[in-house]
Amino acid sequence: MNKINILAIESSCDETSAAVCSNGKILSNRIATQAVHAEHGGVVPELASRAHMQHIVPVVDVALRQSGLQLEDLDAIAFTQAPGLIGSLLVGGQFAKSLSLALNKPLIAVNHMQAHVLANLIPDQKPAFPFLCLTVSGGHTQIVKCTRPTQLEMIGETVDDAAGEAFDKAAKLLGLPYPGGPLIDQYAKTGNPHRFQFPEPRVPGYDFSFSGLKTAILYFLRNAGTAQVYKEEFTATELERKRFIDENLNDICASVQSRIISILLKKLSKAAADLGIKDLCIAGGVSANSGLRKAFTELGKEKGWNTFIPDFQYCTDNAGMIAITGYYKYLENDFAGLDVPSMARGF
Ligand code: KG4
Ligand code: ZN
């Protein structure tokens, strides 16, 4: 039987990406990162759409060439339909639809959050079903139960900020550029995670909350670490605060990161124990965090879990995960019409 070859496009936020997969094996995964947002302290939707317009043709071209396949070898075009920034989604969606129409090949609409989970099915060593996945990105924090590739059930989510947002907001308060998550990760490597204690939220079930942590960090920095972190007292001058951050950056980053990780893993452990599931995955941009990867693996050893973490290139936004999801949807003949709408929300 011929191999199933899928070209996938991801454009939900600020990465323009194209990938090709053949029978579930990724042949190429190209990502064009949009540097334009760094100076604005966050993603500017209008600039993101324009950058996608600039990048999409060359990125697809390189991904296809690197895969060694020709346009006529493709069996389907997969694209991120939802959720994300609507202007960004529309660029990838329109490109995918045009290509599908021109080649007369089926179109596959992929949910970005499902794709983050299924990034764990890219390597040869795959989790057994049902597995649990902690998906932690810039916009979402979820615990998902995956019974088969196309059947996912969300059992917990954040009630306010996402884990990635918590990293990025903490970084912003520390005067670090966007996206701050990877920088906190770097500084934390040589810091003491026990130096400062940030509060743990009380949220029922498998849900999460990170907005209180942001506020705690805000007050902590305003007070230059002198008062209790959750008390609103302004004692430090701007200069004192800056000096305090400079002198303690590594310890602050390590302490913030350690609290975010403990919040995440506590809920994941609870879900795994309650549901009796031993195959556990993490996914999404924050799963690139070295502290989370280490703590998750160590906890897994202690609890007797089989733990899975995507390769770095498949943690942050990428089309490889869209391609693998497209492949499983192809196997179920789950195709979309050319009129399928891009949607900002979903899952
Ligand atoms: O999945 P993703 O690329 O995009 C969304 O779908 O949101 O996730 C982006 C998020 C950002 O908040 C970024 O700061 C965070 O992932 N991130 C990290 C690391 N790498 C990316 N957070 C902590 N440590 C990292 N190494
Ligand atoms: Zn994402």
The reported pTM is 0.94
SS3 93: helix
Backbone angles phi, psi at 119, to 5 degrees: -55, -25
Scanning 174-289, the segments in alpha helix (DSSP H) are: 181-188, 211-222, 238-275
Mutate to test the pocket of ligand 1, among 13, 286, 309 (most ligand atoms within 8 A of CB): 286
Q: Considering only CA atoms, which residue is closest to atom 8 of ligand 1?
A: 285
Query: pLDDT per residue over 137-182, tens digit each?
Result: 999 999 999 999 999 999 999 999 999 999 999 999 999 998 999 9
Map out the domains of the chain as residue ranges: 5-121+316-331, 131-309
Tell whether residue 112 is among the known ligand binding residues. yes
Q: What is the C-alpha to C-alpha distance for residues 154 and 145, in angstroms, rounded to an integer? A: 6
Helix-helix angle 181-188:290-303, to 10 degrees: 70
Q: What is the Å distance from ligand 2's center to 132 Cα?
A: 18
Complex-level ipTM: 0.98
**Best CA proximity match to 347, nearest among 151, 114, 147, 138:** 114
Q: Spell out the residues 6+ positions from residue 233 whose beta carbon is closer than 8 angstroms to its own.
A: 219, 222, 223, 227
Instruction: Kindly state the average pLDDT of the residues 245-262.
Output: 97
From 137, 317, 322, give the residue whose CB has the most ligand 1 atoms within 8 Å, as the site to mutate: 137
Note the ligand closest to the C-alpha atom of 33.
Answer: 1
Indicate if 131-309 has the same CATH topology as 5-121+316-331. yes
Cis peptide before 83 (omega within 30 of 0): yes
The verdict on whether residue 135 carries a ligand-binding annotation is yes
Give tens-digit pLDDT for 192-242: 999 999 999 999 999 999 999 999 999 899 888 775 555 666 677 888 889
DSSP of 164-194, one letter per residue?
Answer: HHHHHHHHHHTTPPSS-HHHHHHHHTTS-TT
* CATH code, residues 5-121+316-331: 3.30.420.40
| CATH level 3 topology of 131-309 | Nucleotidyltransferase; domain 5 (3.30.420)
